[in-house]
Amino acid sequence: MKAISTLTLAMSVFLAGAAQGADEAVTMASLAMHAEAAPQWPRLEMSEDHHLQDGLDAKLENLGLASKAQRGRLAVTLVDVTVPDRPRVASVNAHQMMYAASLPKIAILLGAFQKAHDGEMEMDAETETLLTQMIRRSSNSAATTMLERVGYSYVADILRSDRYELYDEDMNGGLWVGKPYAKKAVWQRDPLYNLSHGATPFEVARFYFLRETGRLVDAKSCARMKEMLGDPAIKHKFVAGLNIHRPGSAIYRKSGTWSTYHADSAIVERDGRRYIAVAMANDPAGGRWLSELIVALDDLIFDPENIAHDRMADDHVRPMVPPPRPPAS
């Protein structure tokens, strides 16, 4: 019966995506097969990779950014998902909660698809247009409309749910949206750091890993969300660095900028390799840092020694140490 249900699910998703083209349909069918056949995906907390971590530390040192990270001005998480059931993680300040500006709009994206899937909201053409504008162009008006339509408490509950674990007080927070992207009152700031729009690089990376493994709502929703994350209209930070130095990269991303705060997050695909990169900075030069950093991270993913570790990950993986809780105020 298990094999029959898996085949049925894959075929239904394939047929649903036929109108979008054969490639998209195959991708959706593959996600459905993975979701059914591999319900126990590895946890990123258990996937820190020695080799990748050493490489990240060296890249930050070479860029002159290691000291910035030591002072808490930069936080980075990198996940090699070329082999998705064997993710390999490297991080610096992975669980540092920072103001993330527009990056947490991805939480509204998830909330909208989840609410539509649950039959509590219609995913009509207008909704899809607003979500696409919110992600690709970072439209604040579209984000505010969708946040109010989905509901503040609904988004917060989704982020804190056991299913997604995208905001976890035991992991020092994570994705948080507690205020509209407009001159309106705050609904609720995050419980740990009092941020209206916050994130940690690790939990943002978890969002993308869940998407890449077909676990954000369902396979069809994952495919549609990735389409919205693609073709970014804003060409700074990660996109600028990759477009100039690594042309031909497929980039699915969401960034954020306000004052000295700079954040970027992306799935990057090129030449058979795929990785998740998330970086957050608090410095006037942070945008430039991220443009340079993404090229270094890309070099690390394509380093021959790293490629050689694709099938040897178990020998280099260790669990991450949980972050300390903030002191009680």
> What mean pLDDT value characterizes the chain?
88
C-alpha separations of 5 from 85, 220, 284, 285, 296 in Å: 21, 17, 53, 52, 43
- Per-residue pLDDT, averaged over 286-304, amounts to 97
Residue 107: per-residue pLDDT: 98
Give the confidence band of 310 by pLDDT, cuts at 50, 70, 90.
confident
User: What is the per-residue pLDDT for 207?
Assistant: 98
Residue 12 has pLDDT above 50, yes or no: no
Q: Is the pLDDT of residue 311 over 80?
A: no
Read off the pLDDT of residues 124-147 as tens digits, 9 standing for 90 and up. 999 999 999 999 999 999 999 999
pLDDT at 24: 40
Can you name the residues that pair with 280 across neighbouring β-strands? Answer: 75, 263
CA angle 83, 87, 90 (to 5 degrees): 135
pLDDT digit string (tens) for 214-238? 999 999 999 999 999 999 999 999 9
Which phi and psi angles does 172 have, rounded to 5°? Answer: 70, 25
Q: Is the pLDDT of residue 284 over 90?
A: yes
Using a pLDDT cut of 70, give the percent of the chain over it: 82
pLDDT at 209 over 80: yes
pTM (two decimals): 0.84
Comparing 6 with 233, the larger pLDDT belongs to 233
SS3 percent helix, strand, coil of the chain, rounded to 5, is: 50, 15, 35
Give the architecture (CATH level 2) of 42-318: 3-Layer(aba) Sandwich (3.40)
pLDDT tier at 179 (50, 70, 90 boundaries)?
very high
Residue/partner pairs of 323-328 with CB below 8 Å, 24 or more apart = 323/94, 323/95, 323/171, 323/172, 324/172, 325/169, 325/170, 325/172, 326/172, 326/192, 326/193
